[in-house]
Structure 1
C-alpha cells in the first residue's frame, strides 16, 4: 500500500512538474510575433534611403524606365521588402555628389532629375507608392495601404548660390536638406573634409539656414563638421534632425557620428538623431577594417583590371564575412539605447542609409524587410510599445510638424 502511495505521489509530482514547465513555456513572451505585429501597427519612418541615386547609377534615369518596384528587385528597398518590414515612410535621398559642386548648374539639375524620378515612381506604381509633404499625408497614405515617399536633399549644393532655390525645392517636395556631404560647399564645412573652408557655416550658409526655417524645410546636420553643427544650433529657431547619423561613443574619432554633447544639444533643440545602420557607423572595429578594405580593393582591381562593380561587390562581401566585419542588429540597438539613456526616448529614430552603404549593413538588418528584428531587440530590452512608436514615427513627426508650423505651412 505504501509503495502504491509512493508511486502515485511520484507520478503526480512528475505531471505537476510537466504542467509547470508547459505553463512557463507558454507564458514566455513571443517577442518576434509581437515585433511583427507592431511593425504593421505603427507607421515606420526612415530618415534616409538612397534609392533614387542607386537607380540613376543603374541607368534608369537615362533610359526613363524604372524597374518594377512593386516586386522584389536588387537592393535594400522595394515595395515587397518595405511591406514585409512595415516600412511606411522612407525619406528618398536626393543625393548630390560633391564632384558636381564645381560645375555651375550641375547640382541643381541632378536634384531636379532625381525628384522627377521619385514623382515617376508614384505615378508608375500608384497602388503602392505616394508622395508625402507632411505627417498628415503619411497618415492618410498609411490608411490607404500606400508607402509614402517624402524627399530630403543630401547635399545643399543643389541650392547652388541662389537663396531663392530654397523655396523652389520646398515647392518641389523637398522636406529636409543635408547641408553638405563629403566636401565643404558654399554653405558649410563637411565632417569628411579637413580643409575647414569656413570654420563652420559660411555667411551664405547662415542665410540658407534662416531661409530653410522660413520655408519649412528641416535642417539636417548629418555630414557637417562639429563647428557647423554648433553654429546651426546657436541660430536655428526650430528643431533640427540628423537624418542618418549614429553615436560617436562607439566609433571614437569618427566625426561623421555625433558626440554625446552634440546629442544633448540636439535634444535641447527638440530635434532627433536617426540612427544609421551601416556597420562602420555602429562599430569601431568595422571602421578600422574599412580602411584595410580600401587597400584590398586597390589590390583586387590591379589583379582584375576591368572588373565590374558587381564582381567586386561579391568579392567585397566575401572578404567582409571572412574578416568579422559586420555589426549586428544588437549593435544598432546599442546606439538607440545610448541616446535614450543620455537624453530620453523622445530624441531617437531610424535613419538606415539603406541603398547607400553597400555591403556594410549588419547581420539581421540587411534590407527594409528587417525592421521587425530591430523592434524585437527593443522589446527584449524592455522598451514599451509607446517607446517603440516614438522611435518609429512620433519623434520624427514632432520635428517635421514643428518646422512646418513655424513656417505657417501646416
Structure 2
C-alpha cells in the first residue's frame, strides 16, 4: 500500500512538473502583451535601473524575460490633482523621458514600440518592447494639438479620464458627473486619436462616457485594465457586461488586470470608497486654501484610512474566473491582459506577484482546457490585432 501511495505521489509530481514546463515553454514562445505596467511613475519617485534586477519592483528586464513578457505598455499616469494644479503636461513628459532613458541605457534589452507591425523585428535578441499608454487625458490640457504631440512621443493609447472628471470625460470614481458622456473637447480628442492611430481606452470612465467614446470611435477601442463588474456589483471602475459587449462589437479588447482591488469584491468596494473619499478630501482642502484656512493633513487621512480598511487577498483562480467570464461573454477574440503591475502597491495574487509569473497564468489557462491558439490570443494576439486595426483605420483617413 505504501509503495502504491508513493508511486501515485511521484506520478502526480511528475505530471505537475510536466505541466509547468509546458506552461513555461508556451510563455516564452507566445507574444505576451501587457497593456498596463506602472513602472514610469515609480521611476519618477525613485530611479531604478530596470535593465537589471530591481528587487523592489514588479517589472524589470530579468523578470520580464523569465516570464516571457514581450510587450509592456508603460503607463504614463497623471493624477486628478496634477490636472487641477496644471502640472500634468510636465509630469507626463518627465515619465516619457524616463522610459526613453531606460531604452537608451539598454538598447540590447529594451526598445520603444510604436507599431504592432514592428513587434517581430524588435523583439529579436530577447528585447522587451515598451510602447506608451497615457493613463488620464489630463496632459492634453485644452489643446487638441497635444494629441499629435504625444503621438510623436510614442503614446499609443489614452485613457480618457482617471480618478476624477476632467476636460474630456467623467470618471467612474466621481460621485457627481460633469458631462454625462464626453465633453465637446473629448469628442474632438477621440476623432483626433482615430485620425492618428491612438487607441481609445475606456478604463476608468463613467458608464455614459465609455458608451459615447465607443459609439463615436470609428475603430476598435480597448479597456486597458478593467476586470468585469459581474464579480464586483456596484464597482463602476470595472466594466459592465453591457459595455464590454459594446467594446467587443467594435472589434476591441477587454484587458483583465490582476490587482486585488479589481478582482476581490470587498477590496473593490474599499477602492471605490477610497477614491471618492480622496476626491472629497482634495475638494475640501481646495476650499480651505481659498478661504486662507489651514488644510487637512493628507498623511493623517491615509493613516486613518489604512487602519479602517485592512488589506485583502486574491488568487490566481479569481483572475482565471475573470478571463473565463470574458471569453463566455465576448468570445475568445476580445479578452486580454493588463496586469497593473507596479501600480497596486503589491496587492496581487500570490501566484502573480511579478512579470516573472506569467507562466503561472498560462498553466492556469491550460488546466482549464484552453487550446494553445486561444491562449496565444489572450496573452497578446487579440490586443495586437485590435491595435493593427486602429493603425489601419488611421491610414484610411482622408
TM-score range, shorter chain: 0.7 to 0.9
Question: Is 1:251 matched with 2:251?
Answer: no
Q: C-alpha separation between the residues in 1 aligned to 2:53 and 2:40?
A: 16
Render the CA deviation track for 1:289-313: whole Å, top value 9, x for unaligned: 668999xxxxxxxxxx9999xxx8x
TM-score scaled by structure 1?
0.84
Within the candidate set 327, 338, 346, 1:340 is matched to 327
Within the candidate set 149, 172, 175, 1:191 is matched to 172
Relative distance call for 1:24 and 1:53 in structure 2 (3 A) is closer
Kindly name which structure, 1 or 2, has the bigger radius of gyration based on alpha carbons.
1
Q: C-alpha separation between the residues in 1 aligned to 2:169 and 2:271?
A: 27
Correspondences of 1:207-226 after superposition (within 5 Å): 207-226=188-207
Deviation of 1:137 after TM superposition, in Å, equals 2.1
**Does the Cα contact within 8 Å between 2:235 and 2:269 map onto a contact in 1?**
no
**Does the Cα contact within 8 Å between 1:245 and 1:276 map onto a contact in 2?**
yes
2:32 is matched with 44
**Does the Cα contact within 8 Å between 1:279 and 1:326 map onto a contact in 2?**
yes
1:12 is matched with none
**Does the Cα contact within 8 Å between 2:65 and 2:126 map onto a contact in 1?**
no
Partner SS state of residue 273, structure 1 = strand
Deviation of 1:138 after TM superposition, in Å, equals 2.1
Deviation of 1:88 after TM superposition, in Å, equals 0.9
2:64 is matched with 82
Deviation of 1:134 after TM superposition, in Å, equals 1.2
Question: Is 1:287 matched with 2:274?
Answer: no
Partner SS state of residue 395, structure 2 = coil
Relative distance call for 1:370 and 1:198 in structure 2 (3 A) is same
Partner SS state of residue 34, structure 2 = strand
Deviation of 1:81 after TM superposition, in Å, equals 1.0
Deviation of 1:68 after TM superposition, in Å, equals 5.0
Within the candidate set 317, 330, 333, 2:317 is matched to 330
Deviation of 1:69 after TM superposition, in Å, equals 3.1
Alignment root-mean-square deviation, CA: 3.0
Q: C-alpha separation between the residues in 2 aligned to 1:330 and 1:23?
A: 25
Q: C-alpha separation between the residues in 2 aligned to 1:247 and 1:350?
A: 12
Relative distance call for 1:112 and 1:22 in structure 2 (3 A) is closer
TM-score scaled by structure 2?
0.86
Within the candidate set 396, 402, 407, 2:383 is matched to 396
Figure out how many residues of one structure are paired with residues of the other and give that number: 373
Partner SS state of residue 369, structure 1 = helix
Q: C-alpha separation between the residues in 1 aligned to 2:163 and 2:172?
A: 7
Deviation of 1:359 after TM superposition, in Å, equals 2.7
Q: Which runs of 5+ in 2 are unaligned?
A: 276-296
Q: C-alpha separation between the residues in 1 aligned to 2:355 and 2:82?
A: 30
Deviation of 1:72 after TM superposition, in Å, equals 3.1
Q: C-alpha separation between the residues in 2 aligned to 1:355 and 1:24?
A: 38
Within the candidate set 40, 55, 58, 1:73 is matched to 55
